[in-house]
Amino acid sequence: VCEWRAPETLKQILDLEMRDTGESHQKLLQLCQDVIQYSVKTSHPRFFNQLYAGIDYYSLVARFITEALNPSVYTYEVSPVFLLVEEAVIKKMIEFIGWEEGDGIFNPGGSVSNMYAMNLARYKFCPEIKEKGLSGLPRLVLFTSEECHYSMKKAAAFLGIGTENVYFIKTDERGKMIPEELEKQVQRARKEGSAPFLVCATAGTTVLGAFDPLDKIADICEKHGLWLHVDASWGGSALISRKHCRLLHGIHRADSVAWNPHKMLLAGIQCCALLVKDNSGLLKKCYSAQAAYLFQQDKFYDVSYDTGDKSIQCSRRPDAFKFWLMWKALGTTGLEERVNRALALARYLVEEIKKREGFQLLLEPEYANVCFWYIPPSLRQMEDGPEFWQKLHQVS
């Protein structure tokens, strides 16, 4: 997987210094070989560290093409093919969520998608913030689970909402948000004089792979007039599986969804979409700056294809193309088989863990996340207690 070297040693091997004169092709070739040799091989069968692994060759070919073309996706005249591809992919993803219509944009990561959703929900709640800023606004509060992705706190800090205004809702023993606790916290915020505006649910938490009860959470959001965002960066791909889509029951009631095909579906980093139920141009209203040199309204084609004003970026990679080419090659059936196989392998691992001495399953998995302890021989006869767990944590 990786030929590990300490940072100072690796600096010497790679010869990182940039000089006034160029170096020979022979030296550059050696540098390239060193980069490969000492990098982590994320497509290696034993790479288990993150929620992405493996490589899809159709996606890789798509990346070769886009790197060679070096496009930027913001206007149709500059990127005609890739804008149409992105539109087609977003439309198909919206269908799997269960919306009749919607909008969306591909972003550089699920963290950015969550930030987009948070800002969009705030804009929907108080549109004047775009021109007037935060001054004069009430204390805005959002809610998310204890097991949410850490990008929620980062987004709140980045957007000026503040991390103290993120209310973390208790979860059950499986890591799912408890709806009754959400209701309590919403009422608490109202009594404090705060202005709740957003609930961020999670479909596939990072550690336990838990799916929040979306239907019950949606009921609370409707009751209190709150925007419901679902971070399905990890779990969204289960929507493609007829066998496992039940995990996201109720997701059609969300106002926005983050979904990362670069994870379960192997589309290659980065490939991340924010999907929005609203089809009235809310994304564009929120993010547009109407740059005159790019977004003229008197062009010789339908300017609705100019999607750059839906994004905070100007230059933007054609990440949807990787997913599109892979989808064209495998079909929906092939993508469904990929999801089903991943979850079947997780189940196989669970059964193997149960058979083996020294392995302790933490809980029965709901998704592809298998959480277990390896207990070394020296600890297997110890009684369960503080000393045992202290030593086990040191080992792990």
- The single residue listed with the structure tokens 């999907």 is 275
Same-domain check for residues 94 and 233: yes
Task: Note the pLDDT of residue 296.
Answer: 84
CATH number of the domain bearing residue 310: 3.40.640.10
Residues 315 and 339 in one domain: no
Tell me: do 315 and 379 sit in the same domain: no
- State both tokens at 364: 């029965």
Decide the pairing of beta strands 256-259 and 272-276: antiparallel
Distance CA 81, CA 63 (A): 15
- Are the C-beta atoms of 109 and 270 separated by less than 8 Å? yes
Burial (0-12, 13-18, 19+ Cβ within 10 Å), 280: exposed
User: Coil, strand or helix: which one is 104?
Assistant: strand
Token pair in block for residue 314: 């100007």
342 and 257 in one domain?
no
At residue 297, the pLDDT reads: 86
Q: Is the same domain home to 267 and 341?
A: no
Q: Which of 117, 149, 176, 144 is closest to 51 using CA atoms?
A: 149
Same domain, 323 and 341: no
Tell me, yes or no, whether 81 lies in a domain. Answer: yes
Q: Is residue 289 part of a domain?
A: yes
Confidence (pLDDT) at 101 = 97
**What is 222-235 written as a DSSP string?**
HHHT-EEEEEETTG
Burial 310-345 (b: 16+ CB within 10 A, else e): bbebeebbbbbbbbbbbbeebeeeebbebbbebbee
Do residues 246 and 280 share a domain?
A: yes
Q: Contact, 155 vs 115, CB < 8 A?
A: yes
Residues 25 and 92 placed together within one structural domain of the fold: no
Q: Are residues 75 and 114 in the same domain?
A: yes
Q: Which two tokens stand for residue 26?
A: 């022979």
Could you tell me if residue 90 is inside a domain? Answer: yes
Q: What is the pLDDT of residue 154?
A: 97
- The dihedral through the CA atoms of 363, 256, 242, 59 has a sign that is negative
Per-residue tokens: 4? 């590990």
Last residue of a domain, one of 327, 359, 378: 327
Q: What is the DSSP letter of 260?
A: -
Same domain as 134, residue 29 = no
Task: State both tokens at 165.
Answer: 């205004």
Whether 291 is covered by a domain: the verdict is: yes
Report the relative pairing of strands 256-259 and 359-361 from DSSP bridges.
unpaired
Residue 384: Cβ within 10 Å count = 8
- Within the chain, strands assigned E span 103-107, 140-145, 166-169, 195-202, 227-232, 256-259, 272-276, 359-361, 372-374
Q: Strand, coil or helix: what is 316?
A: coil
Taking each helix axis from N to C end, the angle separating 7-14 and 25-38, rounded to the nearest 10 degrees, works out to 160
Both 202 and 156 in a single domain?
Answer: yes
CA angle 199, 205, 209 (to 5 degrees): 140
Joined tokens for residue 249: 């029951």
Q: How many residues does the chain have?
A: 396
Tell me whether residue 371 is in a domain: yes
Q: Minimal CA–CA distance to 286: which of 312, 314, 253, 325?
A: 312
Residues 229 and 363 in one domain: no
Does residue 246 lie in a domain region? yes
Domains identified in the chain, total number? 3
114: DSSP letter: H
Side chain identity at 83, as an amino acid letter? Answer: L
Structure tokens belonging to residue 53 = 């692994």
3-state SS, residue 88: helix
Q: How far apart are CA 182 and CA 213, in angstroms?
A: 11
Mean pLDDT by 10 residues, the chain (396 residues): 94 94 96 96 88 92 97 94 98 98 97 98 96 91 98 97 98 98 98 97 97 99 99 98 98 99 95 97 93 82 88 94 98 98 97 95 95 93 91 86
Whether residue 50 is contained in a domain is answered as: no
Burial class (CB in 10 A: 0-12, 13-18, 19+), 74: buried
The residue from 280, 301, 327 where one domain ends is 327
* Separation between Cα atoms, residue 121 and residue 156, nearest integer Å: 12
Q: How far is CA 380 from CA 224, 363, 375, in A?
A: 51, 19, 6
Residue 272 is part of which domain span? 61-327
Does 54 fall in a domain? Answer: no
